[in-house]
C-alpha cells in the first residue's frame, strides 16, 4: 500500500465535509433466506466468476484502512454463506489495533451456531443479527424458510462466544407490528440490544413492499404505552439513535431513513462483492474498484478511485414511500449489504 502519505492527508472526506471512516463490505450477494422485503423468491444471483476472491477482498480492505477507514462491517447477502469467510475475517482481523478499530458482521444468524466462536477468536467483538419475529410461523412467512430454531441457536452461540449481540428488526405493518414490544422485552431479557428499522425501497420484491411500511414513530408510540423510553447519547458510528428502556434495563436503537433523515452525519461507503463502490445506499453513484484492483499499479489506482468516490458521494438519499411506487433504486439491499 502507499505507506508514504501522512495521517493528515490520507483520510477520506467527501465534498460535503463528511469524514468517511466506515466501510460496509459485501462479500456475497447470495443468501440462505429470502426475506420478503429484501428479495423475491426467485432471486437471480451473480455468477461466481464475477465475485471477488478472498485475496482481492483482503487487498481492498487494506487499501481502505490505508486511507483512514477504521471500522469494517462484513455483510452481504449473507456473509456466512461464503465458504472462505472465516479466513477473510482472520486476514482482515490481523489489522485490528493496527489502523483498524473494529471488524464486525451483519448476519441472519443461520450459520452462527457453528461459526460464532471462530469469529470471536478472529477478533470480532460484536455482531448484528437480523430477527424480525419470535413466532415460527411468521418467521417462515417473512423469510420463506422455516428456520427460526436455527437462528435462535445462532444467537445463543454468539452470546456464549462472548460476542455483544444487537438484533436488527425491520418494522412491518400488519406483520410483526403487534409483536415488537414482546420482541424487545425478550431481547433485553437475553441481554441483547434491539434496533428497529424502517423498510427502504430498494429493488423489486414479490408484491408491494409499501403495503407493510411502518413508520418508526408509530412503533415508538406503541412501545411507550408499555415502556418508559429515555434518549441515550450512546453511539456506534452507525445511523441509529438510541433509547434506554427503564423497565427492561436494555437499549433500543431506531433507524429512521424515512421519518428522520440521518444523512448529514453519514460516515460510510459500501462495496459490493464484485468490487463496485456505491457512495450512498440510496444512490447510483458508483466507482469500479475491481478494475483498479486488477490493474498493475493497483495501490495508486485504488487510492485514486477512493478520491473519486468522495467527489461523487451525494448529500443524501431521496427515498420516499408512496403506495405502489417503484423502488427508489433497482439495486437490492443484498447487493450492498444494507
Ligand X SMILES: Nc1nc2c(ncn2[C@@H]2O[C@H](COP(=O)(O)OP(=O)(O)OP(=O)(O)O)[C@@H](O)[C@H]2O)c(=O)[nH]1
Ligand Y SMILES: C[S@@+](CC[C@H](N)C(=O)[O-])C[C@H]1O[C@@H](n2cnc3c(N)ncnc32)[C@H](O)[C@@H]1O
Annotated binding site for S-adenosyl-L-methionine: 37, 77, 130, 200
Under 8 Å between Cβ of 307 and 329: no
CA gap 297, 299 in Å, rounded: 6
Q: How far is the CB of 78 from ligand SF4 (least distance, A)?
A: 5
Site residues for ligand SF4, window 218-277 (CB under 6 A)? 239, 262-263, 266, 268
Nearest to 1 by CA among 292, 303, 306: 303
The one among 128, 147, 272, 334 contacting ligand SF4 by CB under 6 A: 334
Site residues for ligand Y, window 193-232 (CB under 6 A)? 197, 199-200, 202
Phi-psi category of residue 311: left, alpha or beta, with phi > 0 → left and psi -120 to 50 → alpha = alpha
Interface with ligand X includes 241 (CB under 6 A)?
A: no
Site string for ligand X, 97-126 (x = CB under 6 A): ---------x--------------------
- Residues with Cβ < 8 Å from 103, sequence gap 6 or more? 71, 72, 74, 89, 92, 93, 96, 122, 123, 124
Under 8 Å between Cβ of 75 and 338: yes
Whole-number Cα distances in Å, 119 to 85, 110, 112: 10, 14, 9
Interface with ligand SF4 includes 24 (CB under 6 A)?
A: no
Q: How far is the CB of 209 from ligand X (least distance, A)?
A: 13
Nearest to 67 by CA among 302, 267, 239: 302
Query: Toward ligand Y, which CB reaches closer, 286 or 334?
Result: 334
Identify which range of 74-82, 172-180, 239-247, 274-282 contacts ligand Y by CB under 6 A. Answer: 74-82
User: In the β-sheet with 276-278, what is the strand arrangement from edge to edge?
Assistant: 229-232, 241-245, 250-255, 193-197, 164-170, 126-130, 102-107, 71-75, 22-26, 268-271, 276-278, 286-288
Residues that constitute the known binding site = 24, 31, 35, 37-38, 73, 77, 106, 130, 166, 200, 263, 266, 268-270, 280
Q: How far is the CB of 185 from ligand SF4 (least distance, A)?
A: 23
Tell me if residue 251 falls in helix, strand or coil.
Answer: strand
The one among 130, 143, 147, 298 contacting ligand Y by CB under 6 A: 130
Query: Toward ligand X, which CB reaches closer, 128 or 248?
Result: 128
Interface with ligand SF4 includes 33 (CB under 6 A)?
A: yes
Q: How far is the CB of 255 from ligand X (least distance, A)?
A: 5
Tell me if residue 253 falls in helix, strand or coil.
Answer: strand
Where does this chain bind ligand Y (CB under 6 A)?
31, 37-38, 75-76, 78, 106-108, 130, 168, 170, 197, 199-200, 202, 333-334, 337-338
Amino acid at each position: 500500500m502507499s505507506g508514504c502519505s501522512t495521517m493528515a492527508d490520507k483520510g477520506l472526506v467527501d465534498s460535503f465535509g463528511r469524514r468517511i471512516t466506515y466501510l460496509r463490505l459485501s462479500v456475497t450477494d447470495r443468501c440462505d433466506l429470502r426475506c420478503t422485503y429484501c428479495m423475491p423468491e426467485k432471486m437471480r444471483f451473480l455468477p461466481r466468476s464475477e465475485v471477488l476472491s478472498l485475496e482481492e477482498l483482503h487487498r481492498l480492505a487494506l487499501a481502505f484502512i490505508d486511507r483512514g477507514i477504521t471500522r469494517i462491517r462484513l455483510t452481504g447477502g449473507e456473509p456466512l454463506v461464503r465458504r472462505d469467510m472465516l479466513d477473510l475475517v482472520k486476514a482482515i482481523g490481523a489489522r485490528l489495533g493496527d489502523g483498524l478499530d473494529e471488524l464486525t458482521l451483519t448476519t441472519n444468524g443461520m450459520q452462527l451456531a457453528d461459526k460464532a466462536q471462530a469469529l470471536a477468536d478472529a477478533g470480532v467483538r460484536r455482531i448484528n443479527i437480523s430477527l424480525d419475529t419470535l413466532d415460527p410461523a411468521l418467521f417462515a412467512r417473512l423469510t420463506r424458510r422455516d428456520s427460526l430454531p436455527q437462528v435462535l441457536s445462532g444467537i445463543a452461540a454468539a452470546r456464549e462466544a462472548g460476542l455483544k449481540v444487537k438484533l436488527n428488526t425491520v418494522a412491518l405493518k400488519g406483520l410483526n407490528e403487534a409483536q415488537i414490544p414482546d420482541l424487545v422485552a425478550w431481547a433485553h431479557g437475553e441481554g441483547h440490544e434491539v434496533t428497529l428499522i424502517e423498510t427502504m425501497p430498494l429493488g423489486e420484491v414479490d408484491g408491494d413492499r409499501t403495503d407493510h411500511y411502518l413508520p418508526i414513530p408509530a412503533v415508538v408510540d406503541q412501545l411507550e404505552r408499555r415502556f418508559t423510553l429515555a434518549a441515550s447519547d450512546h453511539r456506534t458510528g452507525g445511523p441509529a439513535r438510541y433509547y434506554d428502556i427503564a423497565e427492561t434495563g436494555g437499549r433500543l436503537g431506531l433507524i429512521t431513513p424515512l421519518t428522520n433523515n440521518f444523512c448529514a452525519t453519514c460516515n460510510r461507503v459500501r462495496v459490493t462483492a464484485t468490487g463496485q463502490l456505491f457512495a450512498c445506499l440510496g444512490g447510483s453513484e458508483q466507482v469500479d474498484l475491481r478494475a483498479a484492483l486488477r490493474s498493475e499499479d493497483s495501490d495508486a489506482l485504488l487510492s485514486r478511485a477512493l478520491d473519486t468516490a468522495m467527489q461523487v458521494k451525494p448529500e443524501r438519499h431521496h427515498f420516499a414511500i408512496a403506495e405502489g411506487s417503484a423502488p427508489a433504486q433497482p439495486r437490492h439491499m443484498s447487493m450492498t449489504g444494507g
